[in-house]
Structures are given as C-alpha cells and as structure tokens.
Chains A and B, each alone.
Chain A
Amino acid sequence: MDPYQFTKMVGLSTGEKHFIWGGIAQDLRSDGRQRLHYRPISVETGVIPQANGSARVRIGATDVIASIKAELGKPSMHQPGKGKISIFVDCSPTAAPMFEGRGGEELSTELAVALQRCLLGGKSGAGAGIDLSSLIVTEGKICWDLYIDGLVVSSDGNLLDALGAAIKAALSNTGIPKVNVDLGPSPDDQPEVNVSDEEFLQFDTSGVPVIVTLTKVGRHYIVDATSDEESQMSSAVSVSVNRHGHICGLTKRGGAGLDPSVIMDMISVGKHVSEQLITVLDSEISAAEASATD
C-alpha cells in the first residue's frame, strides 16, 4: 500500500483541485509562489541538549526535528575501517490525524529508506554525504555509531526535503567527543576507552547533500509542494545533490510512469534548484549557529 495515499485523503472539492491545477499551470500557486520557489525556511540548531547535535527546520507549516546521537560501538566485520550510521524517522500523531496509531509507520519507513538512499551513498560507502571512515576510533575495534532520528512535528507537505535539511543542520551542530584509547598489551585485551567531555570534534558537513523533491502535477512540476498540492501529484522525483553538483541519490514515488527525457529534465532542474537551496540553508545554518552560541 502506498503510504502517500493517506495524503490523498485530504479532502478537496473539485473546485479547489481545479484551482490548484490552474495555479500550477499559470505559474502562480495558491500562496503566491512560482513553481520553483520554496516557502520561507527557518533553521534552529541545538534544540535538544541531550543529543550530540540537533536541529529544527521549518518550511512553511512543515516542522521537523532531527537529532543525532553518537555511541561507541564495534565496526562491522565487512568494513573494519568504517563507522556506522542508521537513520530513523518518526511521524508524530500531532502532525496529522492520519499518523495516529499505526498510520504513520509506513510513511516513516518510506522516509527513512529514502533518506538512507540519499545520504549514505553506495554499499561501499562511496559518494556518502558523511565520511564513514571519520567515525572510526580504532580500526576493527571501536567506532562511533551515529543514530540519526528525524521527527515530523507538523506536516504540510515536502517532508523529505525538510528532513534532509534538518539532518544537514543537525550534523553541522554535532560535536563528537574526543576519545583516548589505551590498547592493552595483547591484541585480545579489551581496550580502555576514555571519552573526553570537554574536547569535541566538529564534523565536516561540506559533503552532505540537500534533497530537492520535484512533484509533478498535470504537465508541470513544482518544488516544495504543500500537502494540498501533494494530494494532486501524479508522481514525484526526489534528487539529492551535493555541493559539487553531483547526484548522490534519487527516488521516485507515485505510480504514474514518466518519460525518461522528463526524468532527465527533472534531474537538471533539481540540480539547478539545489544550488539555491544550499546557499539558503548554509546562511540559515550559520545564522542559527551564531544565535545559539549567544
């Protein structure tokens, strides 16, 4: 079952649907935006003191929080030189009535999978937004396990882009404690670990991509769709793009098929939009960091 069919339950009358379609065709959407305009984005960092890093991103009425926790763990057998990252998403029942009970679960998993695909790169770790080898403490023995949790507080469409932005902001807010390891005399000994609570290592977040979702309604596609607009979509393509303009992941949702040339077109538009989004996010994140240290 398509989790997005829940969003289709948002009842709109034929007249309102027609109005939305017309707005997208005439390049003037219901809130005055053009097809490739985002709603105002606001970023707040350090919202959860318990976490190693956190951020809250609001895009219009969509409100999400990302928190990052780091725990010491053991690297996997296959990749002894790398740390681990897991991404989870939770949809709060307060965000929308359909998230009550188990309703939000499927959407949560879909969002988590899409985020993993967009941020974590290929199986070998190449092209990942976060360099997994920077999470290693002692090769084959100790590494950092990074738990990224996204929480949807309020939902008005475009959750994936918002979560991607929140994770990017949270990562730049994350400090990983410095660790001193005393390896025992023999390799089988359990190493002694000292976690510093004063010194922190900042993450290099320059490689973290942003996610741009293009939603196709009628013959046109739009960015940053509200839930009303999402209820009218035939399909949507989410592209994650990094600072170099390289594509780091892509997912398509919605049932309708797309012509390959349309997809290529959407990718290039997504790339173009991502440049602006990266600039906006960067300035918002640095402003948020500055106000957080005040």
Chain B
Amino acid sequence: MRELQVGLNQTQKVRLQSALRQLEELSSRVSNSSTASVTVADTIPVNLEDGVLKGHGTTEHNGEVVATLCGVVERVNKLVYVRTLRARYKPEIGDIIVGRVIEVAPKRWRLEINFSQDAVLMLSSMNLPDGIQRRRTAVDELNMRSIFEENNVICAEVRGFQHDGSLHLQARSQKYGKLERGQLLTVPPYLVKRRKQHFHYLEQYGVDLILGCNGFIWVGEHIEANEDEMMIDNKSEETGKPDLKFTALEMQEKAFTPFVTRRNICLIANAVRVLSVLGFNLSLEVIIDTVEASSSLNLDIKDMLGAEFCVLTAEREVKRRITLIKKKC
C-alpha cells in the first residue's frame, strides 16, 4: 500500500487495513488467473507450442519467457506483454490529455505531459482563435505567445507519433485550449481509465473537471466554449498578473472566482486527492460520490484530507464494489 501522508490512530489503522484486505479479496475474486503479477526476471508461463508473440516488458532466456518489468501479465491472443502499474504515462492515439507548456518553439509548443519525452503541439494542428481554416502565416507564428505562453495549462488530444518518435498533439476543437481559473492536480496515470468522456461539466457545482489520461487533472471554473472565449481569456490575463499596485489589487479582487464556485472547486479537488492517495480509480461517479459523502457528513473541506475521511472513503469503496459484484451475479 502507498504510504499515507496522514497520521492514523490505532482504530483507524485497523479499519483501513481490513478495508484494503477486503478490496484485495474482491479484486482477486473478479479477475481470473491470467492476470498474474510478475516482477523482473520472473518466468511467465506460456505454451510455447502454440507460438507466442513476446510483447512489451518480456524477453527470452533459456527458452523461457521472462519478464523485464514489474507489473501485470496481459495476454491478447498470442501476444504476451507486461503492463506496468507505476510508470510514466503511455500515450495512445485519441487520448485526451492535460499538459503544461514548457517552451514556445518555432511553429510549435512543447508540453510536459508526464510522458518519457515532451509532447509537441504544432501551430498547424490547432484551430486559430478566429476559427477560419487557412494556411498559417509568419504573422501567426509571431503571435503564438498570444495563444499559449510558457507555463500555461492546456488541454489537447494525442494525434500520434511522428517518424522520429516524437509525440504530436492536436487541438482542433473549441473544447481544447487554455485552462485558467482553477487548479491542476497530478495523480499516477494508471488511476485514470480511458473512457468516452473526459470533459465533465458538473452543472450543480458550476465546475469543469477534465480527467486527462496522463494523470493531469484540471478542476476549474466552468467556461462556456464559444466564440467569446478568447476575449474573456485576454481580459483575465490583464487582471491576472500579480501586480503589486494597490489599485490593480482591487481590480483583481473583483475578477476573482466567486466564493461558492471556489468552494466547489476545492471540494472536488480534495476528493480527487483523497482517492489518489488511496490509489482508487478516478471516475466521475466515484469523485462525485466522495464529494457528496463529505457534504452529507458536513465536513470542513480541509478535513477531507484528514485521516478519518480517508478511512471512510476506503470503506465506502468496499461497499461500492460489493454492490457492483452483486449486480453482475
């Protein structure tokens, strides 16, 4: 189990351990024998006569298939490979990711996305603010910083690998683009499963939640995706600069996220934090469930990161999975 940052007292420890043991039992009941976990140099049992395709994380040694990674053995027909649990993000085409711009280079932005290399977003692979489809001119290139600057958090889609092995992104829709007025959380990428929906507008909270496949999660104020978007962005940028001048401060205070929305953002962010500490998969249902649990307990937002709520969340997850299994049966 991952080490928790919270101090548990004796009873909490016992409760958490029993909850985690139950979860382990449940998962072993659901999964079949094929998902055996291996460590480096473990032999993977295969039937060599059928012919085996050795995939990622395997090698051959003395006529046996041996693992070169720690993780779970996956089999697809003849292919055998090892899926690691704790590693950097492995992009797949079509993944929705959240990343941070680290460099504005000629005709492209470089992004940190928790992959083994930086991702590239070409100027030509994104829609321009005016929305017109045309060739990118030198002027567009000069104005790249007005679209994304260094350190901006943006959302995009994985387009594919280039011949030279670099990873390219695209942002060809209004829903992609710069993310502002909110916070970025990073969790281990394996906690975010690929789904149909990664953008979530939580209407009752007025919050946008983006679960990036790379483990970068954005929780921010809801922004309508429309033509005015760029204008709003420009305005908030002017006031957003931490200017020490007094008048600017007062201006800024007016532009701050409304308190109620901020409360909701913090609530959801803390729900994500608790779940990622416990190592539970992050899906919209579980996150909302956790948020509702904390509100029904009348907890202070900051106490969601405390020991008691952490144990409670683990126990709730056990209950949830039991009901899931019952439904299947």
Chain A residues within 8 Å of B, Cβ to Cβ: 11-19, 21-23, 25-26, 28-34, 37, 39-43, 58, 60-61, 218-219, 232, 234, 256, 284, 287
Contact = CB atoms under 8 A, between A and B. Distances in A.
Q: DSSP class of B's interface residues: helix, strand, loop or mixed?
A: mixed
Contacts of B263: 28
A219 B236 CA distance: 20
B100 A11 contact: yes
Contact of A32 (B5, B102, B244, B301): B301
6 contacts: A14-B240, A18-B181, A19-B182, A28-B263, A32-B305, A256-B244
Contacts of A18: 180-181, 236, 239-240, 242, 252, 255-256
Contacts of A41: 7
B5 A13 contact: no
A234 B9 CA distance: 38
Contacts of A39: 302, 305
Given A18-B255, A18-B256, A31-B270, 13 more contacts: A11-B100, A13-B178, A16-B182, A16-B183, A17-B242, A19-B181, A26-B256, A28-B262, A31-B301, A32-B304, A40-B5, A40-B7, A60-B5
B307 A22 contact: no
A13 B180 contact: yes
Interface in B216-275: 220, 236-237, 239-242, 244, 249, 252-253, 255-257, 259, 262-263, 266-267, 269-270, 273
B179 A218 contact: no
B300 to A, nearest CB: 7
Contact of A284 (B5, B7, B236, B304): B7
Contact-residue bracket for chain B: 35 or more
B262 A15 contact: no
A15 B223 CA distance: 13
Q: What 9 A-B pairs come out closest when comparing CB atoms? A: A15-B180, A32-B301, A42-B7, A22-B256, A11-B151, A18-B240, A32-B302, A32-B266, A14-B240
Nearest to A62: B5
Contacts of A30: 183, 266, 269
Contact of B302 (A21, A31, A218): A31
Contacts of A42: 5-7
Given A40-B307, A58-B5, A232-B242, A15 B266 contact: no
Contacts of B242: 17-18, 21, 218, 232
B153 A14 contact: no
A58 B184 CA distance: 22
A144 B65 CA distance: 60
